[in-house]
Structure 1
Amino acid sequence: MVHPRLKEITDRIIKRSATSRQDYLRRMKAQHTNAPQRTNLGCTNLAHGFAACPAADKQHLATDKQPNLGIITAYNDMLSAHQPYESYPEIIRETVRKIQATAQVAGGVPAMCDGVTQGQPAMDLSLFSRDLIAMSVAVGLSHGMFDAAVFLGVCDKIVPGLLIGALSFGHLPAIFLPAGPMTSGIANDEKARIRQLFAEGKATREELLASESASYHSPGTCTFYGTANSNQMLMEIMGLHMPGSSFINPLTPLRKALVEEAVAQVVELTAQRSTPTPLYEIIDERAIVNGVVGLHATGGSTNHTMHLVAVAAAAGIQLTWQDISDLSEIIPLLARVYPNGKSDVNHFEAAGGMGFLIRELLSAGLLHEDVKTVNGTGLDGYTVNVFLNDDGSVLRKPAPAKALDETILAPMSAPFNKDGGLKVLKGNLGAAIIKSSAVAPDRHIIEAPAQVFHTQEDVEAAFKAGELNKDVVVVLRYMGPQACGMPEAHKLTPPLSVVQNRGYKVALVTDGRMSGASGKIPAAIHVTPEAKDGGLIAKVKDGDLLRLDAVNGTLELLVPAEELALREITPADLQSCQSGTGRELFASFRANVSSADTGARVFNLEQTIKTQRNADVVSAMETV
């Protein structure tokens, strides 16, 4: 039986979304057809579409009977997580030919690595790349040649962008193929230790590079639990991966078997086969809520407080930060993966992985089991771990009754925390997000004087000059989507950790993002309204007292309202973050992007405004 509070929150999302969801479903159903999509093409169009195919594939495509898969790939060999995708298109083509189907690469999408661009000018493009990816998906699938789509992507903005684009073609079946995490490198504690020593000037660049290279060392996803691995968790718990497939290492026989199994399965989901299941039937309000539940239960990436809102909107579903925060109150933390613990995703998988996690949540009624999935089952079909059969096929066994390491995975009877630790902060500064699951309880409330900065480099300079050796709330503003694209401030984690380790109270308040691997520093991020949009954060002055309270969910600038009313907004020179490295090309994105709490989207803006107004009205009514 579903937990009553989970049902209540789901029901209110369904009610709030009724009009927009029905409009989405109407548009998707209007595009649906039982015949292959290419039957709508003229002979000249079709001839162009299969001109480069082998003769046998041409014969299938010309018959207008067998399904044709469109592969959307984010492959490049600069991203370790995406390098394994180089071989996937040929594996897919060979697999589907055996079952009387064909596959073509429909298009590629940009795929930047936040690990490479962290703290660099290109990070100003990172968040916007999500919506650019969604648009690129639309271009790739627009040719009308495809009866289902296969998506190859892993990291940060890439998976949310792929899913948003996929939902614009929601009349087609879709499946996501993970590539898997790299094998474990050096211990995470050791990596963090060297980073802090370098921040203090006690380790050389050569020592730091050697440490980082021992951590990020091979093909596959980075092994910490940031946005990339949160993406993989979400795709599985939302039913878009085959069961148990998220965290199997790349370039292994089991990974290849999982790829073959997945593409054979999506063929069966096409309108021409036995169990037609378009994407719009899989991603509904219950699937979105399941994604939020998974985010809380695993201590997942703060970036998804924007991405899930944007994904939901692409399916006509109006998800709000308050929904996410309210769900956090009933979802216990069942996983501790670095930076929320010492172990990485390989250890998580070995301890019982997604199968154990999903079974525990289902047992407490904290997931919607009665959803559609690419597996053709409800979520009960996902309470498994995967192995390789002697014949090379995939073997599934029930997840262990008890986690093999209870420092990594906890049962419902003894969770690590009673809640997910991801919540909304509200106060006179507006709304913000905090992830407290990795923050020591004695630092969940910080009250200290503000020190204001407009760039990450200025924060680093102040740290090196010893100016942060005090109780301080670092206010980093003009980092929002309208100002400079909302870059992550992950490079500030080591220096602020050093200040905290020296015994001072320290917190970060920013209208930008932290990393998806937000760590041990209390950080109020995604502050909305942002400084560029006239938010009160633009009026904060050095020395103002700020109070961040993750226990009661408040963020307050402790300055009399009368004084604040008389203050002028402090402007910032944004030229340096709006040109160079291609940033001038994204001026229209900065000019049209929505607020962080509505997903920081650059399209569907009319719906964004309506969503926020409706949510505000509903919230006011619920308060009354």
Structure 2
Amino acid sequence: MALNPEVDRVTDRIRARSEKTRSDYMARMRAAGEAGPARSHLSCGNQAHAYAAMGAEKEALASGRQPNLGIVTAYNDMLSAHQPFETYPAVIRDAARAAGGTAQVAGGVPAMCDGVTQGQPGMELSLFSRDVIALAAAVSLSHNTFDAAAYLGVCDKIVPGLVIAAAAFGHIPGIFIPAGPMTSGLPNDEKSKVRQQFATGEIGRDKLMEAEMASYHGPGTCTFYGTANSNQMLMEFMGLHLPGASFVNPGTPLREALTRAATERALAITGLGNEYTPVCDVLDERAFVNGIVGLMATGGSTNLVIHLPAMARAAGIILDLKDFEDLSEVTPLLAKVYPNGLADVNHFHAAGGLGYMIGQLLDAGLMHPDTKTVAGDGMNLYTQEPKLGDDGLNWTAGAGKSQNDRILRPTTDPFQKSGGVKQLVGNLGRGVMKVSAVAPERHVIEAPARIFHDQESVKAAFKAGEFTSDTVVVVRFQGPKSNGMPELHGLTPTLAVLQDRGLRVALVTDGRMSGASGKVPACIHVAPEATEGGILAKLRDGDLIRVDATAGVLEVLTDGVDDRPAVTPDLSANSFGMGRELFEVFRRTVGPASEGAGVAVAPALPA
């Protein structure tokens, strides 16, 4: 199938926009790659330090003839999705020895859980943790003793941070190894119902806690289709996972077999062999277009609209919100996974999963088929699924059709003709809306504004019964420079209750929503943010706001708003406590959300 003309045009536009930065990046990567295996340039003293604790493997490491795999791990046992990584280094080292190589844990990176910090001061460090992860991974790999890298990470900021680091070390191969989703627990729609009941005071905290614990109940990724699982989808669509690796549950024989196979593959694609596949060759503009298409086809997390531009810039590629919008227009929504539907990712995987979806998109000409991947050349490899039999691990043809058309559909009969994300532009700035879970009759909301400076004030107004008519709730001074751009996930139940009562409501904010944001129309990531001269800082209660996801418009309709003085609230409370004082330099230097809200990357690669 010929490539869709719009996909082709967007790819060419990205390529042209990025010509200088990509060319400079690739020149640096080629120079580093041509220098040969890193260990050959280290002194004897350098190497002795690196191998001192490696026992019987010292000789193999010192010879430099066998590939050495550096493991960068985001393990901790507070994140359910990362707890399985505790045992991965031992498995990887064993698999490396069996394949004639060696492996060392190069270092660890921090991994915070947004589910724990939602609504708490620690959430103000969440977005910036992505850049900390990239920096920490760079420190891990800076010892220059590795021929390839294995990246162990799953959740919200962890995978984007690791991808940024992998791009910075793009002259060496890198493979991402997931942990998989937890088994299904309390259905997500039942959990959501309980949250709304708690928000209205119908039930107490004991019942809320009971529901939450029944939902988040074991090792693995949370089963709704939020940022963590969107990350896993992305790693397959961009060719950094082995095919079919994303949604295999932890603690299963297939999961371990895939980890061993990833180790073997990482060793096979180093510069010491005949299949040298550095990350810089995988992460080209076609891979990022494929990733955006995957985000739209699955109705994935809006957080990736921030992360993908930051990841791309690390590889010298400049993405724009217009690229997301144009690809969304031609990409059909093929999946209904909570919060877009009732199913979870385990149900999605059983229905045919990513292999079926990639096959459909390739057949429709909506993906680049000829990209380089860690598995080999071409995305057709990712239509296959792994099977573990008596003869070991093999890949076979995937599902020829969806096993449940309420969860997964072909491109000829999609849930929607266009994808899940819409750009909104107007006199209030630029923002995005995830429309895949929003009913079409709510795509346009025009109503008076209520202005707030934090989500707790919105909840207080709700409890006081102040929302009695159609309202556009504006929560400003939530951008990256104001307070690190925390997710405003706590607003979802409150606004959903108002909507269920028959009110027409929408949210407008320069902050983020969770990857699980759902049925309430929310224009988020508005840039310029209020702190940076955005018109949001001039709005007052009662101003008429139009949020139009059909026409892609975000406007204040009240006259004279631009002539008002901007509000300058006291934000000093955002600067201290829970480590926030350590991140002041991040708030001062962070780029706008529309360019990825980058700290470690954006200044180095200006648009």
Taking structure 1 as the reference length, the TM-score comes to 0.96
SS at match of 1:100: coil
2:225 equivalent in structure 1: 225
SS at match of 1:573: coil
Report the Cα distance in structure 2 between the residues aligned to 1:109 and 1:188, rounded to whole angstroms: 30
SS at match of 2:40: helix
1:130 equivalent in structure 2: 130
Report the Cα distance in structure 2 between the residues aligned to 1:158 and 1:333, rounded to whole angstroms: 26
One-letter amino acid matched to 2:528: P
Report the Cα distance in structure 1 between the residues aligned to 2:567 and 2:534, rounded to whole angstroms: 11
Contact 2:486–2:512 (8 Å) recurs in 1: yes
SS at match of 1:490: coil
Report the Cα distance in structure 2 between the residues aligned to 1:191 and 1:388, rounded to whole angstroms: 34
Contact 2:300–2:420 (8 Å) recurs in 1: no
One-letter amino acid matched to 1:455: D
Give CA deviations for 1:412-466 in whole Å, capped at 9, x if unaligned. Answer: 1100001003011000000001011000111000001100000111011011111
Report the Cα distance in structure 1 between the residues aligned to 2:227 and 2:183, rounded to whole angstroms: 18
Report the Cα distance in structure 1 between the residues aligned to 2:110 and 2:497, rounded to whole angstroms: 36
Contact 2:11–2:289 (8 Å) recurs in 1: yes
Contact 1:36–1:65 (8 Å) recurs in 2: no
CA shift for structure 1 position 34: 6.7
* 1:597 correspondence with 2:594: yes
2:442 equivalent in structure 1: 443
One-letter amino acid matched to 2:33: H
SS at match of 1:512: coil
2:277 equivalent in structure 1: 277
One-letter amino acid matched to 2:250: P
Report the Cα distance in structure 2 between the residues aligned to 1:602 and 1:118, rounded to whole angstroms: 22
One-letter amino acid matched to 2:65: K
SS at match of 1:32: helix
SS at match of 1:273: coil
Contact 2:385–2:397 (8 Å) recurs in 1: yes
Gaps of 5+ in 1: 612-624
* 1:112 correspondence with 2:115: no
Report the Cα distance in structure 1 between the residues aligned to 2:562 and 2:203, rounded to whole angstroms: 47
Report the Cα distance in structure 2 between the residues aligned to 1:604 and 1:195, rounded to whole angstroms: 38
Contact 2:225–2:339 (8 Å) recurs in 1: yes
* 1:484 correspondence with 2:483: yes
1:256 equivalent in structure 2: 256
2:296 equivalent in structure 1: 296
Report the Cα distance in structure 2 between the residues aligned to 1:248 and 1:469, rounded to whole angstroms: 46
Report the Cα distance in structure 1 between the residues aligned to 2:468 and 2:27, rounded to whole angstroms: 58
Contact 1:36–1:66 (8 Å) recurs in 2: no
Q: Give identity over the alignment, percent.
A: 58
Report the Cα distance in structure 2 between the residues aligned to 1:606 and 1:44, rounded to whole angstroms: 36
1:93 equivalent in structure 2: 93
Give CA deviations for 1:208-232 in whole Å, capped at 9, x if unaligned. Answer: 0010000000000000000000000
CA shift for structure 1 position 604: 3.8
1:211 equivalent in structure 2: 211
1:340 equivalent in structure 2: 340
What is the RMSD computed on CA atoms of the aligned residues?
0.9
SS at match of 2:415: coil
- How do 1:54-93 and structure 2 match up within 5 A? 54-55=55-56, 57-93=57-93
- How do 1:164-243 and structure 2 match up within 5 A? 164-243=164-243
One-letter amino acid matched to 1:507: A
* 1:581 correspondence with 2:581: no
CA shift for structure 1 position 385: 2.2
One-letter amino acid matched to 2:127: L
Report the Cα distance in structure 2 between the residues aligned to 1:436 and 1:5, rounded to whole angstroms: 21
Give CA deviations for 1:468-496 in whole Å, capped at 9, x if unaligned. Answer: 23211100000000000000000110011
Report the Cα distance in structure 2 between the residues aligned to 1:81 and 1:380, rounded to whole angstroms: 28
1:458 equivalent in structure 2: 457
SS at match of 1:329: helix
Which deviates more, 585-594 or 29-38? 29-38
Gaps of 5+ in 2: none
1:17 equivalent in structure 2: 18
CA shift for structure 1 position 40: 0.9
Contact 2:313–2:602 (8 Å) recurs in 1: no
Contact 2:176–2:235 (8 Å) recurs in 1: yes
One-letter amino acid matched to 2:279: L
SS at match of 1:581: coil
Aligned residue pairs, count: 606
* 1:549 correspondence with 2:548: yes
Report the Cα distance in structure 1 between the residues aligned to 2:95 and 2:71, rounded to whole angstroms: 13
* 1:44 correspondence with 2:41: no
2:507 equivalent in structure 1: 508
Contact 1:33–1:271 (8 Å) recurs in 2: no
- How do 1:347-358 and structure 2 match up within 5 A? 347-358=347-358
2:388 equivalent in structure 1: 388
Taking structure 2 as the reference length, the TM-score comes to 0.99
Give CA deviations for 1:340-391 in whole Å, capped at 9, x if unaligned. Answer: 0000000000000010000000000000000000001310011022221124
Report the Cα distance in structure 2 between the residues aligned to 1:100 and 1:280, rounded to whole angstroms: 25
1:570 equivalent in structure 2: 567
1:614 equivalent in structure 2: none
Report the Cα distance in structure 2 between the residues aligned to 1:449 and 1:316, rounded to whole angstroms: 42
One-letter amino acid matched to 1:449: P
